[in-house]
Structure 1
Amino acid sequence: MSGGRLPLQGLRVIAVEQYGAGPFGSLHLADLGADVIKIEDPAVGGDVGRFTPPYTTGTQPGTQAGAEDRGPDSLFFQSINRNKRSVVLDVRNPSGREVFERLVANADAVYSNLRGDVPEKLGITYRQLAHVNPRIVCCSLSGFGMSGPRRSQPGYDYLLQGLAGWMSLTGAPDGPPTKSGASLVDFAGGVTAALALLAGVHGARETGIGTDCDVSLYDTAISMLNYLAAWHLTAGHEPARTANSAHPSLVPFQNFRTADSWIVVACPKEKFWRRLVTALGEPEWGADPRFGDFAGRADHREEVLGLVQKALIARTTAEWLPLLEEHGVPCARVNTVPEALAEEHSAARGLVLEVDHPVWGRVRQVATAARVGEPRDRHRRAPALGEDNGAVLTDLCGYTPREQDALRAAGAFGTTEN
């Protein structure tokens, strides 16, 4: 927790979520103080993210649990489910549905990341839940949305990076189409869904009437083509891969070799070009009329890049970066992931946090990026499967122990409840 009230305290989200994109979005809400209650399906052993290798522990699907087994878990699951609560519930079972609707009656939003045709099949759209809570916001994050010819198809980050054209833009010009190293469509889709959910809740609190939010990974990926799409749709431009990850129009703005590694140098403003040539000890390049503005440098791209590269490769990265920074040139080392996490600035911004875990001990992971007021200074590890059934059913739903036993006997929680 934090020393003061977190900005989303008082927001309750019932999350029928799994794997990556959905949980990443609700992680932002949970970190900011929302009560995110994960609904995990007992028929499949809970969120599939619990079984994602390589770092897993506990019971795997189809195996017998041991006496000390806390259930399935993984570092993948821990990284995107902290500060949430877990309830094992079979929402297809009539008794499970009863519990689900009681949760909805006391919530602000139902959040899901399922195929586009599944929310209606599960009965979790606004039309199907408004009788329980007219203010409920039903936010669906799916691969392709709740309408259109692909609505019933599963959608995953790799598929969307290919389908939306991202892979055609990534990698070397003479190499194969390539995905980004991080799951950017999943992560961007999750954040977009969280934004849509908050907008829906704000509207519901103003009007007393909830709504559906139809967010898709496909829409997210296409929308992020942004200026490249505008160039193509308006002027017929066809984006393509560039050497050394070069910007499609600004020169120089790309990776360059030094004597021992790689750096990024960026000149998105004219003043940065003038600073760069001064730092390189070649001020006459700034006076060359061929290189005098964005258009000229783009027209003479190969000459500009050849000159800059020849200069930079003469010294090491450790020599160049202080000199470039001293002259005010935007630049950066091309880090490995371990190097990025060890950056002094990462520590200064509090981007690495720790939680205690009964199996792994100290689990170190990265924080979410949204900052609103003072950040929370304590975090709860991601929950064990069904860890919060008792507390949620008692405190939030009002079920007595005897009523919970009856629900259990009726199959509301399947057979994997902790």
Structure 2
Amino acid sequence: MNSSDAPLDGLTVIERTQSVAGAYAGRLLSALGANTVLVEPPEGHRLRRQPPMLAENQSSLFAYLAAGKRSVSLDLRDPADQTHLTDLVCDADIYIDDFSSTERGHTTAPSTFRIEHPQLIYVSVRPYGMTGPKADWDGEEVTILHSTGEGYLLPNGLAYERHPNRAPIKIFGHFAEMQAGIAAVLGTLASLVSGVGQVIDVAIQDAVVALAAFGLQRFGDGSIEHRSARSFKYGGVLECADGYVELLTLEDRQWHGLVTLMGGPEWAADPALADGVGRGHHGAEINDRLRSWARTLKAADLVKAAQELNVPAAKYATPFEVLRDPHEVARGLFQQAFVPGFGDIDIVSAPFQIDGVVPRLNGGPPELPIRQAAIPADTSARGGLR
């Protein structure tokens, strides 16, 4: 896909962020073809220093989130640089901001920008939203995730069985913030369709709560979910001889496929296991059988045989295996880009295709720019594709 074929080709995004959520929103808009310009303070974006590090001032997280973006350095404590930012926004279609009202200041407040740029789409991504009593509260991934109730349900399944006394934990990585970035992009796309400039107010907390539909439904039924009971009746994570797989059989045909996969053991013919309700009542017994059986097999062999019988199963792959997996290679999920100070690296292009075509990265992450007042016309200093 050439940039001219991308849906947002010709649109400019000015991104002034400090969080994963805001940066991910800019990253996805860039993948859709927008010219995304990152406004950094003189010392550089805070995520440049977020470990794990690839090189000095080059975080692997930043490399991913900033891939394909351009960058300018402005000190917004300086009135002249405030004016420069306003000039940049004059030519922009979308402005992304994740600062509190105190940090943001009057010059970049939504009310100011909306008066001066009525067609601008102003996107705010904050832990608890831009308005309300918690608008200026800060929040890291772990605190936001737990404020949604999701952390209360972790660990569960096999992890809870093995570590029942472990304190509540969080999902690995930046799950909550990336969900908010997606929500911000969906709001932005809806605004673009409407053709009217708008203010989009995304609360990271709300974005994660929206995913907890099942837990909220159970609460409406009078049940409160807990990690001790949040697991599949049988199946789920199974340990193999060389790793782990996830196996789930929700339909009768999938159960019968699993029985065939296991060689038709006698215990599976018990009339008590004839339907899903009966199997649910005997979930612990079935799991004992499944786990004993799975430990004798290699994960890849189990998954291959399961898929041939239409039994839903997938292997928990290592990062290296993900990069080299034939499925990911066929879809073009990873592309090589150049990271300044480090070299070539495989980076996820986009978590989607457009009309069956994988979006192409416009480059790797930008180098830390010198303090400047305009977007550099020469893009050769940016990380390039290889």
TM-score in terms of structure 1 length: 0.81
| Residue aligned with 2:116, SS | coil
In structure 2, which of residues 287, 293, 309 is the aligned counterpart of residue 311 of structure 1? Answer: 293
1:309-351 Cα distance to aligned partner (Å, 9 max, x none): 2333343334433322221111122222222222221211112
- Structure 1 residues 394 and 226, CA gap change in structure 2 (3 angstroms): same
Tell me which residue corresponds to 1:375. 358
Alignment of structure 1 residues 161-310 onto 2, 5 Å: 161-171=145-155, 172-173=159-160, 174=164, 175-203=166-194, 205=195, 209-232=196-219, 234-242=220-228, 248=231, 250-282=232-264, 287-310=269-292
Q: Is 1:20 matched up with 2:14?
A: no
Structure 2 unaligned regions, length at least 5: 379-386
Amino acid at match of 2:175: L
CA RMSD of aligned residues (A): 2.6
Q: CA separation in 2, counterparts of 1:197 and 1:335?
A: 34
Amino acid at match of 2:126: S
| Residue aligned with 2:108, SS | coil
1:33-85 Cα distance to aligned partner (Å, 9 max, x none): 1011111122xx12111122342545xxxxxxxxxxxxx43333211101111
- Structure 1 residues 324 and 75, CA gap change in structure 2 (3 angstroms): closer
The structure that has the greater radius of gyration is: 1
**Percent identity of equivalent pairs:** 26
Q: CA separation in 1, counterparts of 2:106 and 2:26?
A: 20
Q: CA separation in 2, counterparts of 1:129 and 1:365?
A: 34
- Structure 1 residues 366 and 112, CA gap change in structure 2 (3 angstroms): same
- Structure 1 residues 388 and 194, CA gap change in structure 2 (3 angstroms): farther
Amino acid at match of 1:179: K
Q: Is 1:90 matched up with 2:72?
A: no
In structure 2, which of residues 47, 50, 69 is the aligned counterpart of residue 49 of structure 1? Answer: 47
Tell me which residue corresponds to 2:333. 351
Q: CA separation in 1, counterparts of 2:80 and 2:4?
A: 39
Tell me which residue corresponds to 1:68. none
Q: Is the 8 A contact 1:274 1:286 kept in 2?
A: no
- Structure 1 residues 119 and 197, CA gap change in structure 2 (3 angstroms): farther
| Residue aligned with 1:213, SS | strand
Tell me which residue corresponds to 1:333. 315
Give, in angstroms, the shift of residue 285 of structure 1: 5.5
1:264-294 Cα distance to aligned partner (Å, 9 max, x none): 1111222211111121122666654422333
Amino acid at match of 2:147: L
Q: Which moved more, 1:47-56 or 1:211-220?
A: 47-56
Amino acid at match of 1:113: D
| Residue aligned with 1:328, SS | coil
Alignment of structure 1 residues 42-191 onto 2, 5 Å: 42=42, 45-55=43-53, 57=55, 72-115=57-100, 117-118=101-102, 121-171=105-155, 172-173=159-160, 174=164, 175-191=166-182
Q: Is the 8 A contact 2:333 2:358 kept in 1?
A: no
Tell me which residue corresponds to 2:381. none
Give, in angstroms, the shift of residue 154 of structure 1: 0.7
1:83-130 Cα distance to aligned partner (Å, 9 max, x none): 111111233432222222222221111111223x34763443442112
Q: CA separation in 1, counterparts of 2:273 and 2:79?
A: 72
TM-score in terms of structure 2 length: 0.87
Q: CA separation in 1, counterparts of 2:376 and 2:90?
A: 13
- Structure 1 residues 124 and 290, CA gap change in structure 2 (3 angstroms): farther
Q: CA separation in 1, counterparts of 2:143 and 2:342?
A: 33
1:145-200 Cα distance to aligned partner (Å, 9 max, x none): 12233221111111112222222222233022121122111111111111112222
- Structure 1 residues 315 and 5, CA gap change in structure 2 (3 angstroms): closer
Q: CA separation in 1, counterparts of 2:302 and 2:115?
A: 65
Give, in angstroms, the shift of residue 131 of structure 1: 2.8
Structure 1 unaligned regions, length at least 5: 59-71, 396-418
Give, in angstroms, the shift of residue 14 of structure 1: 1.1
